[in-house]
A and B are shown apart, each in its own frame.
Chain A
C-alpha cells in the first residue's frame, strides 16, 4: 500500500516537473541559477522584465501539418 502510494507520489511529482519544464515555467529559475554561478554580483532581472524579454526574443517556428 505504502509502495503504491510512493509510486503515485513519484508519478505526480514527475508529471508536475515535466509540465513545468516543457511549458517553460522554469526558465526564470534556470536563468537566476545560471546568473548566480556565471556572473555573481551582476544584478539579476526581476521576473516580469525577464519574461517580457523572453517573449520578445521568441522566434516563431513553422509547425507541421
Chain B
C-alpha cells in the first residue's frame, strides 16, 4: 500500500493561465459584477417596510454565484485539490463504453444537474418562506457557496481519483468499518424517509383534485408507450420518442381540465388513503418491471420537462419581475410558532432548506456515476461546483415563487388541516389568528382561479409553488391561463417526484440485496425473482409506512416528517464533508482542511441542535417525546386532545411521535459515530503520516485534450485543433 502519493510535477505541466492581455479586461468585468451584486444585496438589506422586486434577489444570487465560481471554486481546484490535467481520469483510463466513458463537459453538466436537482430545491424553500424571504435567501446563497457546492465538487474530485468509488466505499476504506457501516445505514434510512416525504408531496397535490390525478395517472401509460416505441419500433431514437411523449403529456394536461368538468370527475377524485395505496402498488410494480419499459422513458420525459420548466420559470421571472408580498423576516423566525413547521430560524431554516444550499444526497451522485464520465480533472469545477450553483438558482426561484403570493393565502395553503378547520370561514379565522388576513371570499376565488375545489391545507409545497408559478407565467406570457399553468406546475413536479420514487426504490432494493447477500448468497443475485420481490417489498413497505403515517397523522404529515427528512439529508452531508476533510488531512493538506471543515462544523452544529430539540425539547409542539408524553398522559385518562378527534387518533399520535423521536435520535448518533471515527483517523494521520494509506489510484499520463471550463480559452482551442478534437457539430 502506498502512502500519500506525492503530487506529480503539477506546476511544471499545468497549462498556463489565459493570455495575459485579458487581465485588464478581467479586472473591469469582475469589478462590474461585484458592484452589481453589492447593489442588489444593498437593496435587499436596506429597503424596509416596503415591497421590493424579486429582481434584486435574482441579481444578488447570480452576482454572488459568478464571483464564487470565478474565485473560490478556482482556488479550491488549483490550490486545495491541485487538479492536474496531465493526469488521466477514470473515464480515459478505463473507457469501456458503458460505465466509464469520457463525456463532453457540457453534456455531463446536463446529466449531473438532472440527477441532483429535483423536488427538493422546490419544496424546501417554499416551506422555509414561513420565516420570511430573507433567511432562506441568505442561506441558499451563502450556503451553496461555502458548503453545498464545495461538498459536491470535493466529493466528485475524491471519487474521481478513486475510479468512481461510492461515498459508502470511501467511508469504509478511508475511515474504517464503523464509519463505513454508519454511512451505509444512514444512506439507506435517508432514502426511505426521502421517498416517503416526496411521495407525500405528490399525494397532497393529487388528493381531491381530478385534474391533477388524471394528468399524473396518464404519465404511466405514456411512459409505457414510449418504452415499447423505443425498444421495438425505433431503437435509439430518443429525441423523437421524447417529443411524442411531451406532446402526449400536454394533451393529458389539457384532457385533465376536460375530465374535471365532465362525468369522469368522480372517478378521479381520490382520497389520500386511496392514493397512498395506488402509489405503493405503483412503486412496487415499477421497481420490478424491466428498466426500459417504464423507468428509462419516464426519466427522459421528466428530465426534459424539468429543464424546460426551470428555464421557463427563469425567463418568466425576468419578464414578470414580481413584487415580493412576503415579509423579509416574520415573527415565526424568532418565536418558533410557525404553522408550516415548528421551531425557530436556528436551526430549522438550515434543516428545511437542504437541496439548493447543502444537500448530502448529492454526495451519492457526485460519487458513482459522474466521476466515471469526466474527461479532465479540472472539469470538477464546472460540473461539481457549477452544477450545484445551478440547483441553488432553482431554489432561489422557488423561494421567490412562494414569496410573491399573498401571505394570507400562503398560510391558508400550508397550515395543517387541524388548524384550518373545515370551512373557509374557519380557515380565514385561523389565518387571522396567525397574524395575517384573508377573507373566505378571497380563499374561494383563489381556488376558483386555478380550478381547484379548495386550496386550504394543501400542504407539501407543491400547490404553493404551483400557485406562485401560475401567477408568474400568466403575468409574464399574458393571456391568463392560471388554471392551466397551475396544473402544469403540479404535473411537472409530480412527474419527477415519481421518477425519483421509481429510481430510489430500485436503488434501495440493490443496496438491500447487496447487504443481505453478505449473509445469504442468493440474495445478491439480481435476477433471482423471490429475492427481488422480497427486497422491493421491504423498500416499498418502508416508505409506504411513513407515507401512510404522513397522510393520516392528525398533527400533519409534512409538519412532522419534513424536519426528519431535512435532518437525514444534512446528516448525509456531514458524512460526506467528514470524508472530504479526513482525506485532505490524509493527503497531507491540513492547511486546507478548513475548506470542507468549516461547512462540516456548521452542518454538525445545525443537525445536532435540530435533533437535540426534536428529541429533548419540553415544548410539545417541537419535541417528539414531549408530544408523546402529552398525548400518552391524556390517553391514559381516556381524554381526547385536539387535533385528534377520537382515541384512535390519540393512539396514532403516540405511536408516530415515538417512531419519529427514535429516528431523530438515531440519526444524530450516526453523525456522532462517523465524526468520532474520522477524528481518530485524522489524529493518527497527523501523528504518523506514514501509518495511513489512501486508496488514490496512481498517476497515469493523459492523452485526451479537452477544455477545463464551459468556454474554451484560446490556448485550449489551439490544443484541441492540434489534437483534432471536436465540439458542437465538430465531428459531423
A-to-B contact residues, CB < 8 Å: 13-14, 17-25, 27-28, 30-31, 34, 47-48, 50-52, 54-65
Are B231 and A55 interface neighbours, CB within 8 A?
yes
Q: In the complex, which residues of chain A have a beta carbon less than 8 angstroms from the beta carbon of B362?
A: 64
CB atoms of A62 and B503 under 8 A apart: yes
* Complex alpha-carbon distance, A52 and B369, angstroms: 21
How far is A45 from B191 in the complex, measured between Cα atoms in Å? 38
Q: Which one of B84-92, B233-241, B250-258, B662-670 is at the A interface?
A: B233-241
The complex places the Cα of A36 from the Cα of B228 at a distance, in Å, of 30
Judge whether A28 and B236 touch: CB under 8 Å.
yes
Residues on B with beta carbons closer than 8 Å to the beta carbon of A61: 115, 365, 368-369, 503, 507
A31: min CB distance to chain B, Å? 7
Contact of A22 among B111, B291, B359 (CB under 8 A): B111
Query: With an 8 A cutoff between CB atoms, is B120 at the interface?
Result: yes
Docked complex: B685-732 residues within 8 A CB-CB of A: 728-729, 732
- CB–CB B106/A65 < 8 A: no
Residues of chain A lying within 8 A (CB to CB) of residue B361: 62, 64-65
Task: Enumerate chain A residues within 8 angstroms of B230, measured Cβ to Cβ.
Answer: 51
Interface CB pairs A-B, < 8 A, 27: A13-B729, A14-B728, A20-B239, A23-B238, A24-B236, A24-B238, A25-B237, A30-B97, A47-B235, A47-B236, A54-B98, A56-B292, A57-B98, A61-B369, A62-B191, A62-B503, A63-B115, A63-B365, A63-B500, A63-B504, A64-B115, A64-B116, A64-B117, A64-B120, A64-B355, A65-B198, A65-B354
Q: Which of A14, A55, A58, A59 contacts B729 (CB 8 A)?
A: A14
A22 and B231 in contact (CB under 8 A), knowing A51-B236, A60-B507, A64-B115? Answer: no
Complex alpha-carbon distance, A52 and B362, angstroms: 30
Are A64 and B118 in contact, with the CB atoms below 8 A?
yes
Q: Is the interface of A mostly helix, strand, loop or mixed?
A: helix
Given A61-B368, A65-B569, decide whether A23 and B504 contact each other with a Cβ distance below 8 A: no
Chain A CB within 8 A of B99 CB:
yes
Among A14, A28, A55, A56, residue most surrounded by chain B Cβ atoms (within 10 Å): A55
Also in contact, A55 and B238, with CB within 8 A (given A21-B104, A63-B118): no
Cα distance A52–B232 in the bound complex, in angstroms: 9
The 6 nearest A-B residue pairs measured at CB: A65-B120, A51-B235, A23-B238, A17-B728, A14-B728, A51-B236
Return the CB mask of B280-313 against A: 1 if under 8 Å, else 0.
0000000000011001100010000000000000
> Are A18 and B106 also in contact (CB < 8 A) when A63-B504, A65-B119, A65-B194 are?
yes
Give 13 new A-B contacts, CB below 8 A, not counting A13-B728, A60-B295, A65-B121: A18-B728, A22-B107, A23-B300, A25-B237, A28-B236, A50-B236, A55-B291, A58-B296, A61-B507, A62-B365, A62-B507, A64-B500, A65-B359
Q: Which residues of A contact B123 (CB under 8 A)?
A: 65
B124, closest chain A residue (CB): A65
B242 at the A interface (CB under 8 A): yes
Query: Are A65 and B500 in contact (CB-based, < 8 A)?
Result: yes
Chain B residues close to A by CB (< 8 Å)? 97-99, 104, 106-107, 110-111, 114-121, 123, 191, 194, 198, 230-231, 235-239, 242, 291-292, 295-296, 300, 354-355, 359, 361-362, 364-365, 368-369, 496, 499-500, 503-504, 506-507, 510, 569, 728-729, 732
Q: Name A17's contact: one of B97, B98, B729 (CB within 8 Å).
A: B729
Across-interface contacts of A55 in B (CB, < 8 A): 231, 291-292, 296
User: Nearest-CB distance from A47 to chain B (Å)?
Assistant: 6
Evaluate contact between B291 and A60: CB separation under 8 angstroms.
yes
In the bound assembly, the distance between CA atoms of A20 and B183 in angstroms comes to 37
Q: Report B-chain residues with C-beta under 8 Å of the C-beta of A13.
A: 728-729
Give the residues in chain B near A60, CB-CB below 8 Å.
291, 295, 503, 506-507, 510
Residues of A within 8 A of B506 (CB): 60
B391's closest neighbor in chain A, by CB? A64
Given A63-B499, A64-B116: A25 and B507 within 8 A (CB)?
no
User: For residue B365, which residue of chain A has the nearest CB?
Assistant: A64
Are A23 and B355 in contact, CB atoms less than 8 angstroms apart?
no
Looking at the assembled complex, report how far the CB atom of A19 sits from the nearest CB atom of chain B, in whole angstroms. Answer: 6
B238 cross-chain contacts in A, Cβ below 8 A: 23-25
- Closest Cβ of chain B to A53, distance in Å, is 9
Q: How far is the CB of A8 from chain B (nearest CB, A)?
A: 14
Q: Which residues of A contact B354 (CB under 8 A)?
A: 65
* Cα distance, A28 to B120, chains bound together (Å): 34
Nearest CB of chain B from residue A23's CB, rounded to whole Å: 4
Could you say which residues of chain B place their CB within 8 Å of the CB of A64?
115-118, 120, 355, 359, 361-362, 364-365, 500
- If A18-B728, A34-B97 touch, does A65 touch B355 (CB 8 Å cutoff)? yes
A65 in contact with B235 (CB, 8 Å): no
Name the distance in Å between A20's Cβ and chain B's nearest Cβ: 7
Cβ of A34 to closest chain B Cβ, rounded Å: 7
| CB-defined contacts of A56 to chain B, threshold 8 Å | 292
Min CB gap B341→A, angstroms: 16
Q: Which residues of A contact B110 (CB under 8 A)?
A: 18, 22
B704 CB to closest chain A CB, in angstroms?
14
Residue of B nearest to A20 (CB): B239
CB pair B115–A48 under 8 Å, yes or no, is no
B732 surroundings in chain A (CB, below 8 A): 17
Once bound together, how far apart are the Cα atoms of A54 and B119, in whole Å? Answer: 29
State the CA gap A19–B246 with chains docked (Å): 15
CA–CA, A19 and B237, complex, Å: 12
Please name all residues of chain A whose beta carbon is closer than 8 Å to the beta carbon of B365 when the two chains form the complex.
Answer: 61-64
How many whole Å from A30's CB to the nearest CB in chain B? 8
Contacts of A58 in B (CB 8 A): 291-292, 296
Q: Which residues of B contact A31 (CB under 8 A)?
A: 97
Residue from the set A24, A54, A63, A65 with the largest chain B CB neighbour count within 10 Å? A65
Q: How far is the CB of B466 from chain A (nearest CB, A)?
A: 18
